[in-house]
Structure 1
Amino acid sequence: MSVWQLLVVGAVMLMGLCGVLVPGVPGQAIVWAAVAWWALDDITGLAWAVLAGATGVLLLNQALRPFLPPRRFKAAGVSRRSVLTAGAAAVAGFFVLPVVGGIAGFVGGLYGAERVRLGSRGDGWASARAILRAGGSSVLAELFACLLIVGAWVGAVVWG
C-alpha cells in the first residue's frame, strides 16, 4: 500500500474516532471498515491479525454495551463542547501514554472543560461525574475500543 493510501486510511480512521463522539454516526463501523480496507490491500499475516483483533475488540464492545448506561447527554444538559473536548483529550492522551492515556485524557478533558464552563473545581468534578453517569462511560468504552484498534494499526504499519 502506498503512503498516500495509508494516509487516506488513517484519515478515515480519524473520521471514525470523531464519529464515536457524535450520536448517530457509526464510528466503530468506520474504523473497522478502514482496517478491513487496509487488510484487503496489504495481504500479510500481520494485517489479517490486526483485522481479526479489531473484529474481536468491536464484538466484545458490542457485547458489553447493554451493561453501560445509554447516552442521555441532552437530558442531562451536557454541552457538546465538553464531550468533544474530552474526546480530543482522549485521542491525545492515548498517543502520549499508550492505552491508559486514553481513559485519563477523556476524564481529564471532561473535567477541564466543565471546570472552565462552571468556574470552580468542585462544580467541575460534580458535573464530570454526572456526565459520566449520563452516558460518558459508554462513549469512553467505544472510544477506547476504537483507539486500541487504531493503535494496533499504527503499530502494524510502522513496525510491520
Structure 2
Amino acid sequence: MSASGEVLVGLAILIGLVGVVLPVLPGVLLIAAAIGVWAFVTGGATAWTVFAVCATLLVASGVIKYAWPGRKLKEAGVPNRSLLIGAILGIVGFFVIPVIGLFVGFVLGVYLSELNRLQTQQTAWVSTKHALKGVGLSILIELFGALLAAGVWLVAALAV
C-alpha cells in the first residue's frame, strides 16, 4: 500500500477512535473496516494476521464492554428498562441539542425512569450515577480495545 493510502487508513482509524468516545460514529466498525481495507490492499499472511489480531481485540473489548458494566449495573440495582429509556431520550436529545443532547437525554431518561421507579429524588440520582459510571466504564473498555487494535496496526504498517 502506498504511503498516502496508509495515511488515509490511519486517518480513518483516528476518526474511529473519536467515534468510540463520542458515540456519533460507529467507531469500532470504522476501525475494523479501515484495517480490513489495509489488509486487503497490502495482502499477504502478515497483513491478514494483523487484521485477525485487531478484529479479535475489537470483538473481545465489545463483549467485555457489555458484560462487565452490565454486571456492575445489575449489582447496583439499575434495571435495563432505565437504560433503554435513557438511550431513547439520548437519541431524541441528539436531534434536539446536537451532540451534547445525546448525553443530556441519556441522563434525563435514566433519572426520570429511576424517579418513577424509586419515588425519591435522592435514590433516583444515586441510581443514575451508577448508570453513568457503567456507561463510562463501557466507553473506556471499548476505547482500550480500539487503541490496542490501532497500535497493532500502526506497528505493522511501519514494519511492512
Pairing of 1:79-94 with structure 2 (within 5 A): none
Kept in 2: contact 1:35–1:153 (CA 8 A): yes
Alignment of 1:148 with 2:148, yes or no, is: yes
Once residues 63 and 107 of structure 2 are traced to their aligned partners in structure 1, the CA distance between those partners, rounded to angstroms, is 25
Once residues 151 and 65 of structure 2 are traced to their aligned partners in structure 1, the CA distance between those partners, rounded to angstroms, is 22
Shift of 1:62: 2.4
Shift of 1:42: 0.5
- Aligned Cα RMSD in Å? 2.4
Q: Structure 1: 5+ residue runs without aligned partners?
A: 78-128
Kept in 1: contact 2:21–2:139 (CA 8 A): yes
1:60 alignment partner in structure 2: 60
Per-residue CA deviation, residues 86-144 of structure 1 (Å, 9 max, x unaligned), is xxxxxxxxxxxxxxxxxxxxxxxxxxxxxxxxxxxxxxxxxxx9796141111111111
1:157 alignment partner in structure 2: 157
Once residues 5 and 157 of structure 2 are traced to their aligned partners in structure 1, the CA distance between those partners, rounded to angstroms, is 12
1:32 alignment partner in structure 2: 32
Which secondary structure state, in structure 2, belongs to the residue aligned with residue 25 of structure 1? Answer: coil
Shift of 1:9: 0.6
Shift of 1:65: 2.9
Shift of 1:29: 0.3
1:21 alignment partner in structure 2: 21
Once residues 131 and 14 of structure 1 are traced to their aligned partners in structure 2, the CA distance between those partners, rounded to angstroms, is 28
1:85 alignment partner in structure 2: none
Q: Structure 2: 5+ residue runs without aligned partners?
A: 71-82, 88-102, 109-128
Once residues 6 and 66 of structure 1 are traced to their aligned partners in structure 2, the CA distance between those partners, rounded to angstroms, is 32
Which residue identity is paired with 1:54? C
Normalised by the length of structure 1, the TM-score is: 0.60
**Number of residue pairs matched?**
109
Which secondary structure state, in structure 2, belongs to the residue aligned with residue 139 of structure 1? Answer: helix
Once residues 22 and 137 of structure 1 are traced to their aligned partners in structure 2, the CA distance between those partners, rounded to angstroms, is 14
* Runs of 4+ more than 2 Å apart: 69-77, 129-132
Pairing of 1:58-137 with structure 2 (within 5 A): 58-67=58-67, 68-69=69-70, 73-74=103-104, 75-76=106-107, 133-137=133-137
